[in-house]
Structure 1
Amino acid sequence: MTPPDTDTRHVPVLLTEVLEALNASSGGTFLDGTFGAGGYTRALLSAEPGNRVIAIDRDPDAIAGGAKLVELSRGRLTLCHGRFGELDELARSTGAASVDGVVLDIGVSSMQLDEAQRGFSFRADGPLDMRMEQAGPSAADLVNDLDESELADIIYQYGEERRSRAIARALVERRRRGRIETTGELAEIVARHVRGEPGIHPATRTFQALRIAVNDELGQLQEALEAAERILKPGGRLAVVTFHSLEDRIVKQFIQDRSRRNARGSRHMPDAGSEAPPTFTAVSKGPIVPGERETAGNPRARSAKLRVAERTETPALPGAGNKGAAADRARRNAR
């Protein structure tokens, strides 16, 4: 039985392509590292009656919202609250020693963007939060507590915003009169110092940068890729959907590094001292992008890229799993 759509607010991007990439109709155990509203999970469960899915999300609201789907799936779906950088540990905690496929949809979900109180978007005024886990330092903490140079670096590196120094200067000047606490106020300050492009709000890059910093998204992505290497069985597939160049660069480099034959490490990995066979094989030459029909019906898909790789029989690389090193590599790639 196909589980009904329990949330229509989020349309999964490149869904058909992801299911084909993971060979979902052939059956198996799959891991959805970014459950969200359950779009990919629901499709994986529907692709073959025997499929099992382990789904992870760091947002407690997403886990709570998936309870009905767990009930309808009659034991085939396990939800785990946690970070996808620990997806291998979370999968093993459910009893899965390995999986047939891993899918990651990187970035903020439509549900989070649509809820003003979560503070991810400037479309409606709300508290300047942006925390996916709803714990730890918020975007307001960064905006109000970091010094000017740190703010400028975050906005430039993670938002690729050329006017980062002018924005940081304006934020520091404004907070002398009191804390900046709302998304509307932040967007207004940024808009005074950035010339908008057609169809793009002037604060878009700044909001992206703060969200990435608050949630350590690039470090988590690097850790998730390495965790997928450890949990995928030989022949298992990794499918990653990204929405901006920083994310795609990390995924592209990871697949290139891991699929290069007889590589002596890489510029991102230390030289192991001996030649080693690849741990992944790239499935497609370049990224898979949505067609015109999908982008017309779902504007979120316009910037999406899907990269796919297949696990070889080579054991995971030594040193994979060093979370500090993974985060450092991700940050270097963002520069």
Structure 2
Amino acid sequence: MTEPAVRADLAAIHIPVMAGTVADYLAPALDHPGAVYVDGTVGVAGHASLILDRDPQAVLIGIDRDADALELAARRLTRFGDRVRLVRARFDELERVLDESGAERIDAMLLDLGLSSLQVDRTDRGFAYRVDAPLDMRMDTRGPLTAADVLNTYSPADLVRVLREYGEERQARRIVQTIVDEREREPFATSARLVRAIAGALPSAVRAGQGGHPARRVFQALRIEVNGELDALSGVLPVMLDRMAVHARAAVLAYHSLEDRIVKRAFAGAASDSAPAGLPVVPEPLLARFSLLTRGAQRPTEDEVGQNPRAASARLRVIERVRPAGGGER
């Protein structure tokens, strides 16, 4: 099968996580002419195509840093014509993208923070620990830093920090010592060698008690470091909230506790009054501008996880703007 055929096949089999639930939450904000829907991680357009079908008055601004994903999204969304604008950018460039698109306000926005099938299933990208591939892991191949660069050039202390902070890996020091010993013998270049090094660093009792693949946390940590994922998430949330119109809705799908914690704190702050504690009556200007539509993080159903195992760790949070900033609407 040719490469374009492989990529088209990936788009066909891609199952967007909690797609119906996300579409249901966003639909009330997209029921008027010219409603602006922003997909900050458009991927192969699984969510976007469903939402554009269900909300025929909406227009899409689709953002992704992955050129291959945007190519597939463009093909998949051709039937929507001029309702679609696709932009190659990182989602924390949202302010610039909106300004250049002439969109003053957002009516609905989705951030799906998971890896797409395109990234996981393409063996040349290095995201999957079960397939031997070059240690790349860049979502945007224009980026200067690869996973191999991190492994081969970071100091032991920085490697420990990355594995602990981004992978929540308790055995970080043990794994890093093995990585440092191995890279002195020969620099890391492929994922299979890294997986062997990780497995070799862990006593059998530790591996047995971890649950899941022993390399999972290390690969997560490297991917986050290479792509600056948590910094990008922290950067986009204030802009997204600021540019939301009254009655606009935003949904975020997170897949591990680090991402979800950032989203939870940002949404909780936006949905809280800014009045001093104990004030008997909160003045109108100090009332919360947002309301949480999900109490806690909503999880996929058992049926969905059965159909799409990649949805198992998904956590969905949705927020709605209920008041304008200051005295008037943006």
Q: Smaller-chain TM-score range?
A: 0.7 to 0.9
SS state at 2:92 partner? helix
For residues 153 and 275 of structure 2, the distance between their equivalents in structure 1, rounded to whole angstroms, comes to 44
1:103 aligned residue (110, 119, 134): 110
Aligned residues: 304
SS of residue matched to 2:317 = strand
What is residue 31 of structure 2 aligned with on the other side?
A: 26
Task: After TM superposition, give the deviation of residue 66 of structure 1 in Å.
Answer: 2.0
* Matching residue's letter, 1:129: D
Matches of 2:163 and 2:114, distance apart in 1:
17
Percent identity of equivalent pairs: 37
Q: In structure 1, the residue corresponding to 2:299 is in which secondary structure?
A: coil
- In structure 2, the residue matched to 1:322 is none
The secondary structure found in structure 2 opposite 1:104 is strand
Match of 1:235 among 247, 259, 262: 247
- Counterparts of residues 264-275 of structure 1 (less than 5 Å): none
Matched, 1:71 2:78: yes
Counterpart in the other structure of 2:121: 114
Q: Which residue of 1 aligns with 2:166?
A: 158
Paired position in structure 1 for 2:20: 16
The answer to whether residue 60 in structure 2 is matched with residue 50 in structure 1 is no
The answer to whether the 8 A contact 1:278-1:314 is kept is no
2:5: which partner in 1? Answer: none
Which residue of 2 is the match for residue 180 of structure 1?
188
Structure-1 separation of matches of 2:101 and 2:110: 17
- The yes-or-no answer on 1:246 pairing with 2:250 is no
* Inter-CA distance 236–115: structure 2 relative to 1 (3 Å threshold): same
- Structure 1 residue 229 displacement after superposition: 1.1
- Partner SS state of residue 100, structure 1: strand
Query: What is residue 294 of structure 1 aligned with on the other side?
Result: 304
TM-score, length of structure 2 as denominator length: 0.87
Are the aligned partners of 2:147 and 2:226 in contact in 1 as well (CA < 8 Å)?
yes
Letter in 1 for 2:153: D
Alignment of 1:123-272 (within 5 A): 123-134=130-141, 135-194=143-202, 195-197=207-209, 200-262=212-274
Separation in structure 2 between the aligned mates of residue 255 and residue 121 of structure 1, nearest angstrom: 31
Structure 1: unaligned runs, 5 residues or longer: 266-274, 317-335
Please name the residue that 1:282 is paired with.
292
Uncovered stretches (5+) of structure 2, i.e. residues with no partner: 1-7, 278-284
* Secondary structure of the corresponding residue to residue 13 of structure 2: coil
Distance across 1 between alignment mates of 2:183 and 2:73: 39
Contact 1:171 1:189 in 2 (8 A): yes
Alpha-carbon distance change, 70 to 264 in structure 1, aligned in 2, over 3 angstroms: farther
Give SS of 2:325's match.
coil
Bigger proportion of residues as helix: 2
In the TM superposition, structure 1's runs of 4+ consecutive aligned residues that sit over 6 Å from their partners are none
The question of whether the paired residues in 1 share the 8 Å contact of 2:37 and 2:59 is answered with yes
Partners of 1:303 and 1:293 lie apart in 2 by 14
Say whether residues 1:312 and 2:317 are aligned partners: no
**What is the Cα deviation at residue 100 of structure 1?**
0.7
Quick check: 1:87–1:228 contact (8 Å CA) kept in 2? yes
Following superposition, the deviation at residue 70 of structure 1 comes to: 4.0
How far 1:97 moved relative to its partner?
Answer: 1.2
Alpha-carbon contact 1:118-1:131 (below 8 Å) kept: yes
Whether contact under 8 Å (1:88, 1:230) holds in the other structure is: no
Task: Say what the alpha-carbon RMSD is for the aligned residues.
Answer: 2.1
For residues 204 and 6 of structure 1, the distance between their equivalents in structure 2, rounded to whole angstroms, comes to 23
Determine the structure 2 residue equivalent to 1:269.
Answer: none
- 8 Å Cα contact 2:36/2:106 also seen in 1: yes
- Secondary structure, counterpart of 2:38 in structure 1: strand
Deviation at 1:122, TM superposition (A): 1.4
8 Å CA contact retained: 2:64, 2:91: yes
Question: Which amino acid is 1:191 matched to?
Answer: A
Instruction: Verify the 8 A CA contact 1:57 1:83 in the aligned structure 2.
Output: yes
Corresponding position: 1:84 with 2:91: yes
Are 1:288 and 1:305, in contact at CA under 8 Å, matched by a contact in 2?
yes
Conservation of the 8 A alpha-carbon contact between 1:70 and 1:79: no
Alignment CA distance shift 1:244-1:85 (3 Å)? same
